[in-house]
Structure 1
Amino acid sequence: MVKLEPGFAEVQGRRPGNQGDAGATGLADKPRLLVIERDGQPAFLTRTHLGEDYEIVTVRSVGRALAMLREKTFEGVYVDTGQLAAVHRAGVLIQADEVLEAISDGVAVVDPDLAVTWANPEFLALADPSVTTVGSKFYRALGNPEVIGSETCPFTNAVASRLPSSTVLRIGANRYLRVTVTPVFEHGGNLSQLIALTRDITDETQQQLKVNAIHKAGDELADLTPEELSEMGVEERTDLLKYNITRHMKDLLGLDFIEIRLLDRPTGRLIPLLTEGMTFVAANRELYARKENNGVTGYVAATGQSYLCRDTAQDPLYLEGAAGARSSLTVPLTYHGTVIGTLNVENAHAYAFDERDRQFLEIYARNVASALNTLELLQAEKFSAATASVEAISRELALPLDDILSDATTVLDRYAGHDDDIIARLRHLLIRAREIRSLIQKVGSTIAPEPKRSTPRPAPRLAGTRLLVVDADEAIRRSAHHLLGGEGATVETARDAHEAIALARQTPYSAALVDIRLPDLDGYATFCKLREVQPGVPIILMTGFGWDSSHSIVKARQEGLQTVLYKPFRADRLMEAVEQALRPTGDAASAASATSTIATAQVSNADQEGQDAESRATTEVQAHGS
């Protein structure tokens, strides 16, 4: 206790001369007195009045006085009356000491040399048991931990900035502390002590490290170099993806029973991709993205929500996956908000999964969905790029190849000699010219095979047909290749009637599209010649809205013409005309009746009005096109 008088503070406690408990053997040692000399003034009074009766221990700060009181036994504390503020501060510190003893975080008071002068029980529990905490350097007391936070030394940073500084320490094999250091300065600006607040963040740190590891593993799923992609086929890439998923599940999450199914959106079927540890029945079970009668997996795929089955024996949705499984966790594979499949894991123990496992698995599932989509896009992009290149090459080669075919066929048609070798070479030239188109397509499919589809791609509308287009306008011939060839037809073109007739003598066609204004023959004459060469071939006459001086369409209709195509034509009108011409004769007649009536009326008007109809027809075309 301390009693304060006007001149100085008098010590109360065991009075000098009260040596009763020293025994009969003699006088006891002088009692120890702690004197606080913050300003150095009481030293003379201390020696004069107290030094004869007490062992004097002098300190220059209240903080150090409190530390000495914890370390040694004193009979009292001497404080000059001019130090009342310091005494009040001491009381506050004592109260704070009691508070720090009770809080759950570890607290250590550290002197400027980083030696621990005081620590609460929580800090002592974190400290190295083989080291005496009080009196040891801070880091030594914690067993020389590893600094893994951004601040390499919070003590140095706190003193330099005069503000609190934090970092993360790893102590032992797998324990993490967040340390926040706050500096305490005296009135003169000198560093008095530092308060180190330590909090055990092992649980949240391990969770974050696991999340980081899952993200890193997810990034590796589809991390293939261009060289690897060029060397690996689709099956090999899929196998690598499955291998990585299985490895990550076991290493990071400790899971042995895994099932991944991909959703076939047109049918709603969930197709197995990976069935590690599942029974044969479960691996081959037909499941659909439906809330009922398709187990937990079907429910998750239908709702897009994760499902935690804590006890399979008590859950009506659960269908057996792994033999003897007692709990399961199923999450959707979602990409850009769309469910593309499911990821299911199972465990032999009930209540094996919790909300944290759900979080981990959902994070990994997003990575799996992204990897699946990336690999599919890589294949699709490669296929699309190859397709675009093939189409560009085909467009550029289409007319030159047609010229070769037309010229070679014309020579062959008019050749009057009997040299069998020349004839054979011409025929071989025709065959090879036609092979070039198919070879271009074949090379494109070899470079990038079309991605696998859950349902077969519909056959092109004109697949298997060979069409002859006869028109002096190069733009029309090029458009025919693009529009009709894009629907699966093999298109060959001729610049005039004689080339068309020569081609028809050598090659059968599914149908022929013939302009009525050719450089050498009119439409009707060409129609008749082609019918002579190939009697059954359907012929479509093409014309602009205008004067038909030869009346080709009227006369051709009298000879059985069924279809007329008016230029400039749209893609849908072109397809309708070709499909109508390709129908069997009976169907074509009934399907074409309305079109024929309109066409006849238009042709009659053109015949009657003569040349003046051309201007009106042009206006009609513009309105029709708009």
Structure 2
Amino acid sequence: MAEKPRVLVIEREAAHGQAILDGLGDSVELVSVRSISRALSLLRDGRFEGVYVDASQLAAARWVGMIIQAEEILDAIADGVAVVDPDLRIIWANPEFLSFAGDADKAVGTRFYQAFAEAEILGPEPCPFTTSVASRGPSSTVLKVRNNRYLKVTVTPVFDARHVLTHLIALTREITDETQQQLKVNAIAQAGDELADLTPDELSQMGAEERTDLLKYNIARHMKDLMGLDFIEIRLVDRASNRLVPLLTEGMTPLAASRELSVAKEGQGVTGLVAATGQSYLCPDTTKDPYYIEGAENARSSLTVPLIYHGNVIGTLNVESPHTDSFDDRDRQFLEIYGRNVASALNTLELLQAEKASTANASVQAISREVALPLDDVITDAVTVLDRYAGHDEDVIARLRHLLYRAREIRGIIQKVGSTIAPPPTNRITPPPAARLAGARILVVDADEAIRRSAHQLLGMQGAVVETARDAREAVALARQEAYSAALADIRLPDLDGYAIFKRLREVQPDTPVILMTGFGYDPTHSIVKARQEGLQTVLYKPFRSDRLMEAVEQALHTQRGDRPEVDGVPKPADPTPPPPLDGSD
């Protein structure tokens, strides 16, 4: 007897065409299912002469047909694709998706997350399936699976004409490379923070040698953890002799560790070349490189980057490997980022060896003097970007605010450490800090770097917290973000004259007294006259002595507190003997 033709009957609900099915029962073999997923599985594995479906379920039937017809296309695409039913069971998956699964043969029919071995949801969505159904739109998350592979899963729900969920499409793309890149960048940033992550009390209790040992230990640990490197060398530039003094040598031969090297483009190996040019150097094969001098025994490739602080090369960081072509451009970028952190830590923790013979007080003053303007640059740049970026990505804004906090924190740490470990000078040239400047925040706006540097030294010695700006744009941005006790502004700024900057600062901070600074007799735009008509109280003429500066600032603070000024706001003309300029020497 010939076999009856097989017909697949999809009965998702009570069959409305039961009479028709009863009539077909004698002439065909009916195979009934109640779910689309089961129907799709049977159609893939068996042969049927036809499919019966009620008119109300035509949309679902068309979807089954489209899946079957599109299967060859889906099999060929690079991304993984899985069709999941409302119970999160995998109905169908293309080969790329199955390659991610722990057991490809058993993936279809299992729940989505169970198909992956050691699956860990990293976010941002804890469950994209639930979120996509609730939002009726795509939802994404990152999934970590076995062998440290990372997948980006984007789930899109599909609803029928009655808005009932029929299935979900999970598009899966491997992002292992870019994720590991980002993880390494984050690890490098965190490692950089750790280099100088000491409280003021810890800093005050540790000597220079202890801090050097701590930094060397952290660097060696980071190199092994972040890049798997055991061969590391750091040398610092001794400006007096132009020598490259070893600070850290891990895994180098005794000959290499004790080798005398200088800053030079020729004859001093890769390290001397990098120190002289300020450019990183990648050596893929040490046996063929004309600059390479043996460091680690049997090293076959190396990477050397400069340690740069405030535009100056202060040392070099060299790593080596026993294999050729171990480093690429990505490693160079990572090492340069870390090198900047090392350079910053060396400066912040007073590890530069050029000032070994200096007293603790001189060291603290030198660090404060050198760090002041670079920190101001960081603060003004961050504030300017923050001022322009307001209203956009909140994560970027939060990072900028954190950057401002850390920059100001570094300045505070240096000041606190200096006050703790630096002995008081026996012959004090300037008077002790005036009580009225203790805790005062002063904004100094001048294009002249010497003026800004001296403002930090002179006002900082009197207990004030000083921040500087190079032009009016930076000054206004700072004033929008931070309250100041007083502001000093030159009338010859690159972008605004004295009257304009006076008005802008008063608009942003109406209660902050503004002092205008000018050279004697130089006011071509009559800024001072116009500013006086709008409330200018104090003018400071340059060049001036430190006591003139202190008098002007104290008077401005009197005015801010509502006290009656003791002088008329116009400093006296210069003494017959010209006073020294504002260069910090007074």
1:285 is aligned to 2:259: yes
Shift of the 112–71 alpha-carbon distance from structure 1 to 2, 3 Å rule, reads: farther
1:166-213 CA distances to partner (integer Å, 9 max, x unpaired)? Answer: 111122252222111110111111111000111222233233223322
1:126 is aligned to 2:104: no
Question: TM-score scaled to structure 1, two decimals?
Answer: 0.54
Counterparts of 1:106-185 in structure 2 under 5 Å?
A: 106-129=80-103, 132-143=106-117, 145-172=119-146, 174-185=148-159
Shift of the 625–97 alpha-carbon distance from structure 1 to 2, 3 Å rule, reads: closer
Which of residues 62, 76, 89 is equivalent to 1:102? 76
Which of residues 358, 364, 384 is equivalent to 2:338? 364
Task: Tell me the equivalent position of 2:536.
Answer: none
Moved more, 248-257 or 305-314: 248-257
What is the alpha-carbon distance in structure 2 between the residues aligned to residue 272 and residue 124 of structure 1?
53
What is the alpha-carbon distance in structure 1 between the residues aligned to residue 198 and residue 289 of structure 2?
41
What is the alpha-carbon distance in structure 2 between the residues aligned to residue 220 and residue 625 of structure 1?
46
List runs of 5+ in structure 2 lacking aligned partners. 367-417, 428-543, 546-572, 581-586
Which of residues 208, 223, 226 is equivalent to 1:249? 223
Task: Tell me the equivalent position of 2:183.
Answer: 209
What is the alpha-carbon distance in structure 2 between the residues aligned to residue 314 and residue 108 of structure 1?
51
Shift of the 377–280 alpha-carbon distance from structure 1 to 2, 3 Å rule, reads: closer
8 Å contact from structure 2 (residues 296, 320) kept in 1? yes
Which amino acid is the alignment partner of residue 17 of structure 2?
A: A
Task: Tell me the equivalent position of 2:529.
Answer: none
1:316 is aligned to 2:290: yes
- CA positional deviation for 1:143: 3.4
8 Å contact from structure 1 (residues 128, 143) kept in 2? yes
- CA positional deviation for 1:261: 1.1
Question: TM-score scaled to structure 2, two decimals?
Answer: 0.58
1:362-382 CA distances to partner (integer Å, 9 max, x unpaired)? Answer: 222122111112112999997
What is the alpha-carbon distance in structure 2 between the residues aligned to residue 82 and residue 244 of structure 1?
69
Shift of the 284–92 alpha-carbon distance from structure 1 to 2, 3 Å rule, reads: same
- CA positional deviation for 1:222: 1.4
Shift of the 309–386 alpha-carbon distance from structure 1 to 2, 3 Å rule, reads: closer
Task: Tell me the equivalent position of 2:40.
Answer: 66
8 Å contact from structure 2 (residues 208, 350) kept in 1? no
8 Å contact from structure 1 (residues 327, 352) kept in 2? yes
- CA positional deviation for 1:314: 0.3
What is the alpha-carbon distance in structure 2 between the residues aligned to residue 297 and residue 160 of structure 1?
59
The DSSP-based 3-state class of the residue aligned with 2:9 is strand
The DSSP-based 3-state class of the residue aligned with 2:264 is coil
1:14-72 CA distances to partner (integer Å, 9 max, x unpaired)? Answer: xxxxx44xxxxxxx5x4420235689786245324422212323567877643431254
1:226 is aligned to 2:200: yes
Moved more, 146-155 or 223-232: 223-232
CA RMSD of aligned residues (A): 3.7
The DSSP-based 3-state class of the residue aligned with 1:218 is helix
Percentage of matched positions with identical amino acids = 64
The DSSP-based 3-state class of the residue aligned with 2:256 is helix
The DSSP-based 3-state class of the residue aligned with 2:296 is coil
Which amino acid is the alignment partner of residue 49 of structure 2?
A: E
Task: Tell me the equivalent position of 2:553.
Answer: none
What is the alpha-carbon distance in structure 2 between the residues aligned to residue 364 and residue 332 of structure 1?
11
Shift of the 269–620 alpha-carbon distance from structure 1 to 2, 3 Å rule, reads: closer
What is the alpha-carbon distance in structure 1 between the residues aligned to residue 105 and residue 69 of structure 2?
28
Which amino acid is the alignment partner of residue 179 of structure 1?
A: V
1:47 is aligned to 2:25: no
1:295 is aligned to 2:269: yes
1:221-274 CA distances to partner (integer Å, 9 max, x unpaired)? Answer: 111222221221111111111121122222332222211111234553322211
List runs of 5+ in structure 1 lacking aligned partners. 1-18, 21-27, 389-443, 451-459, 461-569, 572-618
What is the alpha-carbon distance in structure 2 between the residues aligned to residue 74 and residue 123 of structure 1?
28
The DSSP-based 3-state class of the residue aligned with 1:289 is coil
What is the alpha-carbon distance in structure 1 between the residues aligned to residue 364 and residue 170 of structure 2?
65
Task: Tell me the equivalent position of 1:34.
Answer: 8
1:193 is aligned to 2:167: yes
8 Å contact from structure 2 (residues 150, 175) kept in 1? yes
What is the alpha-carbon distance in structure 1 between the residues aligned to residue 359 and residue 189 of structure 2?
25
8 Å contact from structure 1 (residues 165, 181) kept in 2? yes
8 Å contact from structure 2 (residues 152, 175) kept in 1? yes
1:148-167 CA distances to partner (integer Å, 9 max, x unpaired)? Answer: 11110000000000111111
8 Å contact from structure 1 (residues 291, 298) kept in 2? yes
8 Å contact from structure 2 (residues 299, 323) kept in 1? yes
Shift of the 131–184 alpha-carbon distance from structure 1 to 2, 3 Å rule, reads: same
Task: Tell me the equivalent position of 1:515.
Answer: none
What is the alpha-carbon distance in structure 2 between the residues aligned to residue 73 and residue 449 of structure 1?
94
- CA positional deviation for 1:92: 3.6
Task: Tell me the equivalent position of 2:415.
Answer: none
- CA positional deviation for 1:339: 2.0
What is the alpha-carbon distance in structure 1 between the residues aligned to residue 129 and residue 28 of structure 2?
39
Shift of the 336–95 alpha-carbon distance from structure 1 to 2, 3 Å rule, reads: farther
1:497-549 CA distances to partner (integer Å, 9 max, x unpaired)? Answer: xxxxxxxxxxxxxxxxxxxxxxxxxxxxxxxxxxxxxxxxxxxxxxxxxxxxx
What is the alpha-carbon distance in structure 2 between the residues aligned to residue 256 and residue 277 of structure 1?
6
Counterparts of 1:412-451 in structure 2 under 5 Å?
A: 447-448=421-422
Which amino acid is the alignment partner of residue 311 of structure 1?
A: D
Shift of the 131–147 alpha-carbon distance from structure 1 to 2, 3 Å rule, reads: farther
What is the alpha-carbon distance in structure 2 between the residues aligned to residue 112 and residue 386 of structure 1?
67
What is the alpha-carbon distance in structure 2 between the residues aligned to residue 117 and residue 53 of structure 1?
31
8 Å contact from structure 2 (residues 17, 54) kept in 1? no
8 Å contact from structure 2 (residues 350, 363) kept in 1? no
Task: Tell me the equivalent position of 1:332.
Answer: 306
Task: Tell me the equivalent position of 2:567.
Answer: none
What is the alpha-carbon distance in structure 2 between the residues aligned to residue 385 and residue 302 of structure 1?
26
What is the alpha-carbon distance in structure 1 between the residues aligned to residue 137 and residue 86 of structure 2?
15
What is the alpha-carbon distance in structure 1 between the residues aligned to residue 60 and residue 201 of structure 2?
76
Which amino acid is the alignment partner of residue 195 of structure 1?
A: I
What is the alpha-carbon distance in structure 1 between the residues aligned to residue 348 and residue 359 of structure 2?
10
What is the alpha-carbon distance in structure 2 between the residues aligned to residue 269 and residue 235 of structure 1?
20
Shift of the 199–620 alpha-carbon distance from structure 1 to 2, 3 Å rule, reads: closer
8 Å contact from structure 1 (residues 300, 306) kept in 2? yes
8 Å contact from structure 1 (residues 260, 342) kept in 2? yes
What is the alpha-carbon distance in structure 1 between the residues aligned to residue 192 and residue 359 of structure 2?
22
Counterparts of 1:363-512 in structure 2 under 5 Å?
A: 363-376=337-350, 383=361, 447-448=421-422
What is the alpha-carbon distance in structure 2 between the residues aligned to residue 445 and residue 94 of structure 1?
77
Shift of the 278–45 alpha-carbon distance from structure 1 to 2, 3 Å rule, reads: same
- CA positional deviation for 1:316: 0.4
What is the alpha-carbon distance in structure 2 between the residues aligned to residue 193 and residue 82 of structure 1?
17
What is the alpha-carbon distance in structure 2 between the residues aligned to residue 349 and residue 387 of structure 1?
46
